[in-house]
Each structure stands twice: as structure tokens, then as C-alpha cells.
């Protein structure tokens, strides 16, 4: 690292083509993070040219079309304002690296499926391939920014790869983890709680941090931009997700206690959440967390603790994922027990498959495991979701013939023995449940995973109602 110490990246050897629209920003990885994040930067920084590249040509074509590859409220409008103005999508990774001054790396960092650390360690092959691509195509100095969530000290490894060749090109690596949540990505990007930037305490490091701060200062107030060491920044992202997931597992573990004792989890959550030291967010009991990040980031934290020789810390965080799986097993066991210990041959309507409302993303959605368990028990499923049916079809492809995919919840419910609500879509709260009840087989059941429905009304309509963490409302 001594080769970059004290050197300024900023202002040296401007990249080819830079100038007509200020500096050139490149983002490698056009996924759930890369696409929306770069669209927001382009929207707020008309003086920069922003290009997003990906090896997935179909994804790039979708970003260039009217049907974006991801569903996110407000994203269509955001992209349409700046696309082809100062926001571009391209398959040309090498050519765009050469042109860029500032490169965000937003590639996927899944958990390893095999080999050393399988099931816990991050799979860094996409990230390392990107680092090598930057090295072989860069002809001018660059600031390289980790946007992907990465283990602590990855920026150091990135810098070593980038400086491993013969070239005199200099790179400064920053950590700038993304805290957006799917479903609210656009508003999270527009009004972030904080922007975290980790950089080295050298002249070159400070200059690079200042360059990135300059970008965010186009719309983020100064007091919300937090600069730290690179390692603190990397660890803070893992820690933030671990804390959020831990709250979900904590309340879910208490939901089991509520069911066993007759206490009501919503009353308990309200009572503890009103303590200002605790706060009320992330205290909704349900079927557990999903999404591409929580489980993976906790497991990566577990692996980090193990690698640092901290088995007690590793066990502590591992338990958060174990409670998450326990909650899903418990939910299915509750369905079976209520439905006379068998769902074989029964039509069951699944309302919601996305891992949370307002997204079509089904990665690590609890719905996948719950549906598979019900199918293994012999149920005939009708899966409904406003945005996630394409992904659901892919996730359940091995069960072809046993699952019907139906967007309309009324059609999905018709002829079913049970409604199993797995995603808290707002639209489900406004359904005409009397109409639905009339179309179902008796006795009719509702299992409300997210706990958002009006249980008393459902009971009055005629349903046997099974919320999580509450006494069921049954009919004789």
C-alpha cells in the first residue's frame, strides 16, 4: 500500500472522454443496488455521467427498456428522468472501466455453497473477477468504491489485487456500503439515515473520500455523511443487518412464548417498543426475515467471528438465523395441526410470495421453504402475488404440476381449504373476505404470517383464524 500513500488520485490524468459532463462514474453490477443507486446519483448530480454495466446482457436490455428488471416503487420515474441524459446502461465492462474516474463495485456477494467455509463464508469470486477486470482495463488513476457488502478487510485485498501488476496506474479503494431496503429503495436513497464512507488516513485516501462526499453532498446534508476507517465501514454494514435481523428473531422467539402462554405478541411488542431505549421498529412478529442480505450477512459475520477465533460471538449471531428457521417450521406445524394433521390433496391458497411487500424479489423468501414443506405434505398450492409470480415460478419449478400461479387473489382462494398469507401486501388488507369465504371449502382457515389482517372481522365472516403469537380464533 505504500505506493499510494500520500498520492492524490483527484485531478491526476483525467479519464478519456471526461469533461463534457464532469466526472465519469461507472457502476459494475446492475442489480437491486447498482441500478437504483446509480439512478439516484444521476438524478441528483446532473454534472456527472453515470454508466451502469453488467455481464448479464438480458438485465442490461431490461434497464434500457420500459420494463425494468426489478420492481421498486418510484424507480420507473427516477430512471426515465435521467436515462440517456446522464445515465446509461451498457454490457461493455472493459471499455467503460477505461473511461471511468470513479468506479462503484456492486456485484453480488453470495454465501459459498461448497468448499472451505461452505454455508457461512462469502463467495468472493464475482468481486475478485471485477477487481482483475479493473486492473487489466484501467489506463488512468481511479477511485474504486465497494458498494457491495463485503467482509472486513476486503478493501485491503482489493487494493492488493489492483496494485499487483506492472502498471503505474494508482487506485484508492473506499468502502461505501449501501443501506437501502428493497420496497423503499428510492425514498431510502433520496433521504438516507446516513451515508457511510470508509477511507484510508492518507492524503490520497482523504482526497478520495472528499470526492465521494462531493457527490453525496448534491442532496445529502453534511451531518448525515459519516466518514470512518475502511474496516469500521465494512463491519458497520454487517453489524447493521445483524442487529435488524436479531430484532426480528427476538420478537419471533417471543411469539412462540405468547402462543404457549396466552399473551398477545402485538400487545407485548407495543409495550416494549414504547420504551424509547428500545423503539418500536422491526418488532412485528411474523414468519421470519428473508431477502438476499440478512441471512447472508449474519452468516458472513459468523464466519468472520470464527476466523478471528471468537467462537462465542459466532454462536451468538448464528442463533439469529436458527430462530428464523425455527419460526418457519413452527408456522407450518401450526397449519398442519389446525387442519387435522393433514393437507394432503387439499387446495391451499398462498397470498404473497415476495420476501416483503413492494418488491418482486423472492431471494431467501420464507415463502419458498414454507411452500415446499406444504407440497411435501401433499398440498395442492395456488400461489398468488402482485409482483413476484415470475420469480415464484422459478423458485418452485421442481414442483411443476402441483402448483398453480394466479395473480388474482379471489381466483386463488376459490375452492381452497385455507388461505396462507406470507407477504404483508397492503392490498390484502382491503380484500373482500366475505366474498372469499363464500368461495372456499368448509371449514375455512386463515393463517396470517405477517399479522396485518383484521382477525376479529375474519372470524366474524366465518374463518378459523390463526395469527402468529396470538390465541387462534376458532369456530366449532
Q: Does 268 bind ligand NAD (CB under 6 A)?
A: no
Q: Does 148 bind ligand NAD (CB under 6 A)?
A: yes
Contact indicator for 173, 136 with CB cutoff of 8 Å: no
Which of 230, 286, 265, 259 minimizes the C-alpha distance to 420? 286
**Binding-residue total with ligand NAD (CB under 6 A):** 27
Q: Distances from the Cα of 410 to the Cαs of 236, 406, 462, 465, in angstroms? A: 44, 9, 17, 18
Interaction mask 402-431, ligand NAD, x per CB under 6 A: ------------------------------
Q: Distances from the Cα of 211 to the Cαs of 11, 48, 206, in angstroms? A: 10, 12, 9
Q: Does 36 bind ligand NAD (CB under 6 A)?
A: no
Residues of span 53-72 touching ligand NAD by CB under 6 A: 53-56, 59
Distance separating alpha carbons of residues 179 and 196, to the nearest angstrom: 9
Catalytic residue among 27, 82, 258, 293: 293
Q: Quick one: 27 or 382, whose CB is closer to ligand NAD? A: 27
DSSP for 283-345, written as a single string:
---SS---SSSHHHHHHHHHHHHHHTT-HHHHHHHHHHHHHHHHHHHHHHHHHHHHTTT--TT
Which of 6, 191, 9 minimizes the C-alpha distance to 101? 9
Q: Quick one: 180 or 413, whose CB is closer to ligand NAD? A: 180
Q: Does 126 bind ligand NAD (CB under 6 A)?
A: yes
Select the span of 4-12, 23-31, 379-387, 399-407 touching ligand NAD (CB under 6 A). Answer: 23-31
Look up residue 424 and give its three cell numbers.
404483508
Distance separating alpha carbons of residues 188 and 180, to the nearest angstrom: 5
Q: Does 39 bind ligand NAD (CB under 6 A)?
A: no
Q: Distances from the Cα of 313 to the Cαs of 215, 237, 303, in angstroms? A: 37, 17, 10
Select the span of 22-30, 188-196, 281-289, 451-459 touching ligand NAD (CB under 6 A). Answer: 22-30
Q: Does 28 bind ligand NAD (CB under 6 A)?
A: yes
Q: Does 157 bind ligand NAD (CB under 6 A)?
A: no
In the complex, minimum distance from the CB of residue 181 to ligand NAD, in angstroms, rounded to a whole number: 6
Residues of span 165-184 touching ligand NAD by CB under 6 A: 178, 180, 182
Distance separating alpha carbons of residues 197 and 217, to the nearest angstrom: 13
Kindly tell me which residue out of 24, 34, 82, 392 binds ligand NAD, with binding defined by CB under 6 A.
34
Instruction: Note if 293 is an active site residue.
Output: yes
Select the span of 3-11, 30-38, 377-385, 397-405 touching ligand NAD (CB under 6 A). Answer: 30-38
Q: Does 220 bind ligand NAD (CB under 6 A)?
A: no
Distance separating alpha carbons of residues 307 and 297, to the nearest angstrom: 15
Q: Quick one: 122 or 467, whose CB is closer to ligand NAD? A: 122
Q: Does 109 bind ligand NAD (CB under 6 A)?
A: yes
Residues of span 275-314 touching ligand NAD by CB under 6 A: 292-293
Nearest residue to ligand NAD on Cβ basis: 31
Which of 350, 431, 426, 436 minimizes the C-alpha distance to 393? 350
Q: Does 96 bind ligand NAD (CB under 6 A)?
A: no
Contact indicator for 80, 371 with CB cutoff of 8 Å: no
Contact indicator for 238, 198 with CB cutoff of 8 Å: no
Q: Does 130 bind ligand NAD (CB under 6 A)?
A: yes
Nearest-10 crossing angle of helices 154-162, 125-137: 30
Binding site for ligand NAD (CB under 6 A): 28-34, 53-56, 59, 93, 106-109, 126, 129-130, 148-149, 178, 180, 182, 292-293
Where in the sequence numbering do the catalytic residues fall?
293
Amino acid at each position: 500500500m505504500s505506493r499510494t500513500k500520500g498520492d492524490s488520485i483527484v485531478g491526476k490524468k483525467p479519464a478519456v472522454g471526461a469533461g463534457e459532463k464532469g466526472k465519469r462514474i461507472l457502476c459494475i453490477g446492475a442489480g437491486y443496488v447498482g441500478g437504483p443507486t446509480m439512478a439516484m446519483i444521476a438524478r441528483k448530480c446532473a454534472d456527472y455521467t453515470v454508466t451502469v454495466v453488467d455481464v448479464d446482457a438480458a438485465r442490461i436490455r431490461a434497464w434500457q427498456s420500459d420494463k425494468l428488471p426489478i420492481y421498486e416503487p418510484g424507480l420507473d420515474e427516477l430512471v426515465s428522468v435521467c436515462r440517456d441524459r446522464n445515465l446509461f446502461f451498457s454490457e461493455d465492462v472493459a471499455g467503460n472501466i477505461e473511461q471511468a474516474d470513479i468506479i462503484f463495485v456492486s456485484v453480488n456477494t453470495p454465501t459459498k455453497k461448497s468448499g472451505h467455509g461452505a454455508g457461512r463464508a462469502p463467495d468472493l469470486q464475482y468481486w475478485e473477477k471485477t477487481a482483475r477486470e479493473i486492473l487489466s482495463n484501467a489506463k488512468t488513476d481511479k477511485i474504486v468504491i465497494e458498494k457491495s457488502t463485503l467482509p472486513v478487510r476486503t478493501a485491503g485485498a482489493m487494493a492488493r489485487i489492483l496494485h499487483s501488476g506492472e502498471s503505474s496506474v494508482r487506485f484508492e479503494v473506499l468502502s461505501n456500503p449501501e443501506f437501502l431496503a428493497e420496497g423503499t429503495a428510492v425514498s431510502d436513497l433520496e433521504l438516507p439515515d446516513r451515508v457511510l464512507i470508509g477511507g484510508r488516513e492518507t492524503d490520497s485516501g482523504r482526497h478520495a473520500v472528499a470526492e465521494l462526499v462531493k457527490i453525496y453532498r448534491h442532496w445529502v446534508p453534511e451531518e448525515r455523511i459519516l466518514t470512518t476507517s475502511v474496516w469500521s465501514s465494512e463491519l458497520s454494514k454487517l453489524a447493521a443487518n445483524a442487529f435488524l435481523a436479531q430484532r426480528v428473531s427476538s420478537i419471533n422467539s417471543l411469539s412462540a412464548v405468547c402462543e404457549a402462554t396466552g399473551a398477545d405478541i402485538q400487545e407485548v411488542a407495543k409495550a416494549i417498543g414504547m420504551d424509547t431505549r428500545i423503539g418500536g421498529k422491526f418488532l412485528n412478529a411474523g414468519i421470519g426475515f428473508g431477502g438476499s442480505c440478512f441471512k447472508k450477512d449474519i452468516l458472513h459475520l459468523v464466519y468472520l467471528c470464527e476466523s478471528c477465533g471468537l467462537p462465542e460471538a459466532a454462536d451468538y449471531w448464528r442463533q439469529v438465523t436458527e430462530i428464523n428457521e425455527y419460526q418457519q417450521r413452527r408456522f407450518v406445524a401450526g397449519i398442519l395441526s389446525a387442519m387435522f394433521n393433514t393437507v394432503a390433496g387439499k387446495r391451499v391458497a398462498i397470498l404473497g410470495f415476495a420476501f416483503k411487500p413492494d418488491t418482486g424479489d423472492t431471494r431467501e423468501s420464507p415463502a419458498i421453504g414454507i411452500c415446499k414443506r406444504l407440497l411435501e405434505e401433499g398440498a395442492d398450492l395456488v400461489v398468488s402475488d402482485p409482483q413476484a409470480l415470475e420469480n415464484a415460478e422459478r423458485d418452485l419449478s421442481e414442483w411443476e404440476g402441483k402448483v398453480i400461479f394466479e395473480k388474482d387473489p379471489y381466483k386463488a382462494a376459490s375452492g381452497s381449504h385455507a388461505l396462507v398469507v406470507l407477504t404483508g401486501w397492503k392490498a390484502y388488507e382491503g380484500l373482500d373476505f366475505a366474498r372469499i369465504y363464500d368461495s372456499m371449502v368448509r371449514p375455512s382457515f386463515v393463517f396470517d404470517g405477517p399479522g396485518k389482517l383484521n382477525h376479529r372481522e375474519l372470524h366474524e365472516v366465518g374463518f378459523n383464524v390463526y395469527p402468529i403469537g396470538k390465541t387462534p380464533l376458532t369456530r366449532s
